[in-house]
Structure 1
Amino acid sequence: MIGVIMDFNQVRYFLALADTLNFTRAAEQCYVSQPALTQAIKRLEVELGGELFLRDGRYTEITELGKSLRGYFEQIDRTRHLVRTTAKAVTSGEIAELNIGVMCTIGPWLITAMLDTFQIQHPMVSIVLHDVTPESIPSLLLSGALDGAFCAHHNSPHSQLRYVELFEEAMVVAFPLGHAFAKMDAVPLRAIAKQRYVDRLHCEFRQEMIEFYDRHDLQQDVAFRSQREDWIQSMVRDGMGVSVIPRFSLLHTEIDHRPIIDPPLSRRVEFAVVNQTEIPPALDELIEHATKYDWSVSKLS
């Protein structure tokens, strides 16, 4: 079969005839006349050097050669569809690489689950994830280094950024299994001050907690400080102290937690982009997907 030349239409006609074993129905399925389909099949047989179908009046049967080549033709047809889809995606700007920041204090499993469903629905979009700190997000977005960022804050937004709210997340006190806090339904912030504490340096509420303790003449017993969320939780798990952590950022099953009261603490998790009139189609699709995604508390619990 060296030197065989065939076109996509011949492959399409062959597969239609192999499915229907009827020239009339195959021609209707391919939106061509029956003589045109018959001639195309004959040319294909000449090019391949053997019959693909046996014809006996109205009866049509696929030959052994046809059966052996059917899988290859199906692969060619899939390639045809992929070529057309890819060409359409390229010309319409659907193929893209998005650089997305994820704030270091946001639970990774929460974001990756949403991104997985997005990528399945948009296979032409490649996503590069970047671990970023809260203070670096505005400059990374405004410089173009990032296309968007998952972030969380509870204070004033940046004037040049647009924020799409995703869900509200409570802050909790995390502690090792068997800790005295496990007997409480909720833990007052004052009670946390009396415990050995592991200080999260990237905590959005860190300054507010310091000011709260100062107002109430409380001295926080800080045993360890770290910027690394995984280190913080490992230290809590190992009994080295308690820590205030976002509810959905907890990674270890060996860590227990309770809500915080007096005062309660919570943050908005959002997707931030540069506030501009036009944004790339792929980024627009991601924003729409994130907005419609089910972030319900029952699903996150």
Structure 2
Amino acid sequence: MDFNQIRYFLALADTLNFTRAAEQCFVSQPALTQAIKRLEDELGGELIRRVARENELTDLGKSLRTHFEQIDRTRHLVRSTAKAVNAGEIAELNIGLMCTIGPGVLAPMLEAFHVANPLVSIVLHDVAPDAISDLLLSGVLDGAFCARHGAPHPQLSYVELFEEPLVIAFPENHAFSQMEAVSLRDIAKQQYVERLHCEFREEVLEYYKELDLELEVAFRSQREDWIQGMVRNGVGVCCIPRYSLLRPELDHRPIVDPALSRKVAFATAEQSEQPPALKLLAKMARAHDWPVYASEQQNGPTV
């Protein structure tokens, strides 16, 4: 038994006419008749019989018709599924999300991707910045949203998404709320909550060393949500990427003298052929309407 025999039988069951069934299946009438005969021989009984000048399904044909319809639906489902998989419409992508990138700025793009590709499942993994390249090159991750800081990795490809300023976040009714912008010198006078995953950590510490200043660090943490919680509770102030502020947002101001910003990108391992679903995600990430950093706010060199 093969799919063609089932398809021919269902056409014959609908038309009760060998000629019209053959035309519907785009085969000759003898070919269709022979295929039905082989099917009957395999099943051990007639599926259709001639009564007077008309054809009708036998009891066996009537009994098997529903099962054959189910098989034919499965055939269509298998073919459409295979086509969708090959086109990248059905897949699971493991995507890294650097722990310092806020969900708010990425969520609209990911939602738009889901609407356009509902059969692609995305698993988001919270990853530290220094682990991203190894996870991509080993194949554990298919792609990663990450902050570009320093030289690009030679074995990775990047889709540049947006530039993101760092701001100083502070608790309610803080003195910084009366200022339009805050310098790193101003920050050095405050109790500080330090983000251990901050890309600018070493540069800022070196900057303060050159100025013979020192941060008064009250707490350090790798957890971005804890950092913001401590700032909200009045423990201290913190330099933080603008779009990672959780809602309700902390009060914040631009950092100047020097201004700090980072470039956020979608990274993948360089390879000859990427999964179709990954190509679709990269394409949508490239085309998305990302926020634009007003670089005119910068009053000094970028660290």
What TM-score, normalized by structure 1, do the two folds share? 0.72
Q: Which residue is 1:63 aligned to?
A: none
Tell me, in whole angstroms, the C-alpha distance in 2 between the residues paired with 1:8 and 1:290: 46
1:260 aligns with 2:228: no
Letter in 2 for 1:120: V
Distance 2:262 2:223 in 1: 19
Q: Partner residue of 1:90? A: 85
- Alignment root-mean-square deviation, CA: 3.5
- Mark the CA change 1:85 to 1:232 in structure 2 (over 3 Å): closer, same or farther: same
Partner residue of 2:98? 103
What SS does the aligned partner of 2:113 have?
helix
The alignment status of 1:240 with 2:206, answered yes or no, reads no
Q: Per-residue displacement from partner, 1:208-230 (whole Å, max 9, x unpaired)? A: 11011111111211000000000
How far 1:78 moved relative to its partner?
Answer: 9.9
Match of 2:266 in 1: 271
Query: Counterpart amino acid of 2:276?
Result: P
Aligned equivalents of 2:237, 2:122: Cα separation in 1: 35
| Aligned residues of 2:86 and 2:276 also touching (Cα < 8 A) | no
Aligned-pair CA distance for 1:271:
0.6
Give the match for residue 207 of structure 1: 202
Structure 2: distance between partners of 1:91 and 1:162: 23
> Is the contact made by 2:93 and 2:123 (CA closer than 8 Å) also made in structure 1?
yes
1:65-84 mapped onto 2 (5 Å cutoff): 84=79
Name the counterpart of 2:128. Answer: 133
**Aligned-partner SS, 2:263:** strand
Show structure 2 runs of 5+ residues with no match. Answer: 1-5, 15-23, 26-54, 63-71, 294-303
Query: Does the CA contact (< 8 Å) of 1:171 and 1:260 recur in 2?
Result: yes
Taking structure 2 as the reference length, the TM-score comes to 0.72
Q: 1:144 to 1:222 in 2, by over 3 A?
A: same
d(CA) in 2 for partners of 1:144, 1:229: 26
Corresponding position: 1:114 with 2:106: no
Q: 1:9 to 1:80 in 2, by over 3 A?
A: farther
Displacement, 1:277?
Answer: 2.6
Corresponding residue number in structure 1 for 2:34: none
Instruction: Name 2:185's counterpart in structure 1.
Output: 190
Deviation of 1:159 after TM superposition, in Å, equals 1.2
Tell me how far apart the structure 1 counterparts of residues 225 and 107 of structure 2 sit (CA, whole Å). 17
* Structure 1 counterpart of 2:148, from 135, 150, 153: 153
Q: Given that residues 148 and 272 in structure 1 are in contact (C-alpha distance below 8 angstroms), is that contact kept between their aligned partners in structure 2?
A: yes
Task: Give secondary structure in 1 for the equivalent of 2:97.
Answer: strand
Cα distance in 1 for residues equivalent to 2:116 and 2:169: 36
State the distance in 1 between where 2:287 and 2:101 align: 19
Q: CA deviation at 1:144?
A: 0.8
What percent of counterpart residues are identical?
62
**1:150 partner letter:** F
After TM superposition, the structure 1 stretch with the greater mean CA deviation from structure 2, 230-239 or 252-261, is 252-261
Give deviations 1:203-254, integer Å, cap 9, x for gaps.
0011111011111111211000000000000000111100000000000325
Matched, 1:289 2:284: yes
Question: CA offsets per residue over residues 238-277 of structure 1, 9 Å max, x none?
Answer: 1110000000000032510000000000000001111223
Aligned twin of 2:165: 170
What is the alpha-carbon distance in structure 1 between the residues aligned to residue 56 and residue 184 of structure 2? 83
Q: Counterpart of 1:276 in structure 2: which amino acid?
A: Q
Q: Distance in 2 between matches of 1:248 and 1:173?
A: 12
Q: Provide the residue aligned with 1:144 in structure 2.
A: 139
- Aligned residue identity for 1:230: D
Alignment-mate amino acid for residue 206 of structure 1? R
1:72-102 Cα shifts (integer Å, max 9, x gaps): xxxxx99997665323213545432111000
Match of 2:211 in 1: 216
Counterparts of 1:8 and 1:172, CA distance in 2? 69
Equivalent residue number for residue 67 of structure 2: none
Q: Which has the larger radius of gyration?
A: 2
Following superposition, the deviation at residue 280 of structure 1 comes to 1.4
Structure 1 residues 79 and 251 mapped into 2: Cα distance closer, same or farther (>3 Å)?
farther
3-state SS of 2:231 partner: helix
Q: Residues 209, 79 of structure 1: CA spacing in aligned structure 2 closer, same or farther, 3 A cutoff?
A: same
